[in-house]
Structure 1
């Protein structure tokens, strides 16, 4: 069954809200177990939700958390039972007293699972070029 724009928007909003709240359970529930992740801050692709979650939990064990996360410039491209969600992300995160501000572009691929739910199956994060970062303000 093809995805609808509303389903993708709802899934993306839920994922971004969980990230912004540093809500580990809700955030990782938004991803398929075999989801892959490409982050410009990591030396290699993360090959599963479990691999990314282990990395995330190593950060949060040190007190790392999201202070704010703003999603702008959203685009949803429907592709049958999958969809591509792109947006600009302005995030403030870090450990207490050492938060960093980042401006990035993110692509998340969503797909309908066998049980009918909509989950992220791939995430790609890259730094936003200076011009793009300035437009997000």
Structure 2
């Protein structure tokens, strides 16, 4: 019995680490501010907003405790996808370029974000994008 257990243990170990390994892309977070660096969600200026992809499918958004917005489930594709941000304050476009990677675990990585729109400025901060409405 002990020999069977010792034989099956390594077999279970190596099969458990196989195809179930997947790395999702890093999350993207936006912080919306005005030219005075005041958070527009915190001060009540930006109350309703949404993001849709190029196929008019809504992107799930999560609001954080410090009034930033995390875009959920974006970047898990090979290529470039276009998005549109809608609000009563501003509307702007952005695109996300992602690629697949292979390694210990397969997955996707976000390579580049490109923003276009009138009256906005974007700064790549440490861990989030600060979107400045002018």
Sort the TM-score into its range (normalised by shorter chain).
Answer: 0.3 to 0.5
TM-score (norm 2): 0.32
Query: Which structure shows the bigger proportion of residues in helix conformation?
Result: 1
TM-score (norm 1): 0.32
